[in-house]
Amino acid sequence: MVENETSLNFVENKSMIPHLTDLMSGRRPDGAAGKNYIRLEGDISAHPEVLLEQGFFFLLVVRGAARAEDVYRSYVLKAQTLLVLTPSVQVVLKEMSADFAFTGLYLRPAYFDSLPDGQALYNQLAVTLGSRRTPVCRLDAAASAYLQNTLSLFAPRLADMPLYHAGMVRHLCSFLLLQLTELLCGINHDTPVYVSRTNEIFRQFKKLLVQHYKQQHAISFYAAQLHISSTYLSRVVKQITGRTVGDHIAELLCAEARRMLESTDRDVKEIAVALGFSDQSVFGKFFVRKAGLSPLKFRMRRELEKEVSVSPVAADEEKVPSVGLHQLEKK
């Protein structure tokens, strides 16, 4: 599975970047009228950057190239590359070549959770959740073509079948999720194919974390919500990801702090309050510990970095290896 990887230069002003689901359907995934699924296919070349967030995304590159950038690093996407996102991950597509084309599907988190075969896929995705890496993999030609055929079944024609539409969509989604699980099982040879109780607990923890991390920083809150002890939750999260519950909470807090410092003009005190810190001093010490510099210095540095040019992805001809989800370092 992937990749050509570069160090992070995460995009500023993400609030001004169009969301991929908006471009596909004109609706926000978090809106009251949000769809359970959205087919992802079309020309987005008019937009230099496109945002993917707040849902499950399964994106297969058909031709051309682009760069996918998360808060930690960026990945080169080329033909036959599969990108999978969970709701806690935010990615920006950028540096798209003129012939860049893709097909894929967006699933609303609540709908994904209602699908009986979703947990098997999430079990495979959990491999990457502790490594701060976005699941990106290179498929062989046959696997890519078959996956493209499956995604084509979510064509607009499906909406013209109202009588059994809901049932057909659920069956198609289950087939797609199992197909993706099969692909990832072939790559993650050391990951169990069954859905264990610990993986289910971790999944529920991540859902709660995305909802409450700004105001709830204590492990006891999440353990209580899951009706388990703090010690057991700590052990489960450490076992699956190799990181502590505190690490996961701090990761989201730091990512949101960076976003707010980069893309808003709110002062540091306001940001500290918004993220649930008791005062600006506590927030400042936390940010220095995680980012290596103070919030104000971080904001100033990012302003200077806006002037730094980035070479186009088309110039990057390094071969993308097919390696495991847990082996995403640049060769």
Task: Show the DSSP H helices in 130-196 as ranges.
Answer: 141-152, 165-187
Strands 136-138 and 5-7: unpaired
165 and 26 share one domain: yes
The residue among 189 and 121 whose pLDDT is bigger is 121
Does residue 228 have a pLDDT over 80?
A: yes
Token pair listed for 123: 């079990």
What are 236-293's pLDDT values in tens digits?
888 877 789 998 899 889 988 988 898 888 999 999 999 999 999 999 999 999 888 9
Which segment of 21-35, 196-210, 287-301, 315-329 scores lowest on mean pLDDT?
A: 315-329
Q: What residues make up the domain containing 176?
A: 5-192
Q: How far apart, in whole angstroms, are the C-alpha atoms of residue 243 and residue 238?
A: 5
pLDDT of residue 234: 93
> Does 106 lie in the same domain as 70?
yes
Out of 146, 174, 192, a domain closes at 192
> Rounded distance, CA 326 to CA 305, Å?
30
Q: Are residues 121 and 151 in the same domain?
A: yes
- What's the N-to-C CA distance of the chain in angstroms? 12
**Cα 160 off chain centre by:** 31
- Who's near 32: CB < 8 A, 6+ residues apart? none
Dump pLDDT digits (tens) for 119-136: 788 877 876 665 567 788
**DSSP labels for 12-64?**
S-GGGSPBHHHHHHS--TTSTT--SEEEEES--TT-SEEEE-SSEEEEEEEES
pLDDT of residue 329: 33
In this structure, are 106 and 166 located in the same domain? yes
Determine the angle formed by the axes of helices 118-129 and 165-187, rounding to 10 degrees. 40
327 within some domain:
no
Closest CA to 55 of 25, 20, 26, 82: 20
Using CA atoms, how far apart are residues 88 and 38, in angstroms rounded to an integer? 18
Is 84 contained in some domain?
yes
pLDDT at residue 11 above 70? Answer: no
DSSP 8-class letter at 242: S
The reported pLDDT for the residue numbered 117 is 83
In this structure, the answer to whether residues 230 and 150 fall within a common structural domain is no
82 vs 60: CA distance, rounded Å: 5
Number of domains forming the structure of the chain: 2
33 and 124 belong to one structural domain:
yes
pLDDT at 82 > cutoff 80? yes
Same domain for 28 and 89, yes or no, is yes
Assess whether pLDDT exceeds 80 at residue 189.
no
Is 135 in the same domain as 180?
yes
Q: Within this chain, do residues 162 and 268 fall inside the same structural domain, yes or no? A: no
- Which has more confidence, 71 or 84? 84
Let me know whether 39 and 128 are in one domain. yes
Same domain, 167 and 216: no
Q: Which two tokens stand for residue 108?
A: 């609303």
Contact 205, 237 (CB under 8 A): yes
User: Please, are residues 20 and 40 in contact by the beta-carbon 8 Å criterion?
Assistant: yes
Burial of 308 (0-12, 13-18, 19+ CB in 10 A): exposed
Does an H or E element contain 255, and which? helix 245-263
Q: Does 9 reside within a domain?
A: yes
| Domain CATH for 293 | 1.10.10.60
Q: Are 244 and 167 in the same domain?
A: no
